[in-house]
Chain A
Amino acid sequence: GAGVSQSPSNKVTEKGKDVELRCDPISGHTALYWYRQSLGQGLEFLIYFQGNSAPDKSGLPSDRFSAERTGGSVSTLTIQRTQQEDSAVYLCASSLAGLRGHGYTFGSGTRLTVV
């Protein structure tokens, strides 16, 4: 596609429920990133996928968070047993062949609210 697409754009869920957030990167971009943007705290790196390599999960805040990328394209970020502190905007970005100075192209994000 022309840009990075994320769905849903907004999600309200009850505490304790599981949620899935979807990211469809730009066609041909082999690198895919997930970030979390909390109010007043900038962007927090969560996870990075590059081609068929094992993902870099070093930013995931707890074992309730997981992500997968099927067929080197679409990615799903799953948060299990959501907590109120999980409320944030979750941003996906893709890039050509890893960072290497290309910078990212970001999606518009999914605003998650846990009530």
Chain B
Amino acid sequence: AQSVTQLDSQVPVFEEAPVELRCNYSSSVSVYLFWYVQYPNQGLQLLLKYLSGSTLVKGINGFEAEFNKSQTSFHLRKPSVHISDTAEYFCAVSDPGANNLFFGTGTRLTVIP
């Protein structure tokens, strides 16, 4: 089974600064990769996904992520964060033939004014 590692449980960053949230997954022949965001007291919302093709994926709210097969990573980035980006971010992975997604333990992003 797949596994996902999000090494940073908490990331504080000042408003308008860049941010990178790290995600690594266990190796597989091919995978689908996802980032989800969870705002307080809400469900998870899809930010972006990688299925195939270009390794740089752009998502909503100015976020992007880069798939790196050799490093089995799918780090999430944003060049300039806003207060409203404060939330929990989850990386998820699946094998194309799998029934379900495997989630990381999440990274809490706190944007400081």
Contact = CB atoms under 8 A, between A and B. Distances in A.
Interface of A: 4, 33, 35, 40-43, 45, 48, 50, 56, 59, 91, 93, 98-101, 103-109
A35 to B, nearest CB: 8
Given A99-B32, A106-B43, A109-B43, A42 B104 contact: yes
Nearest to A35: B103
B43 A99 contact: no
Contacts of B101: 45, 99, 103-104
Nearest to A44: B103
A43 B4 CA distance: 11
Interface string B99-113: 111111110000000
Contact of A103 (B49, B96, B104): B49
Contact of B46 (A41, A48, A100, A103): A103
B103 A106 contact: no
B35 to A, nearest CB: 10
Contacts of A106: 36, 43-45
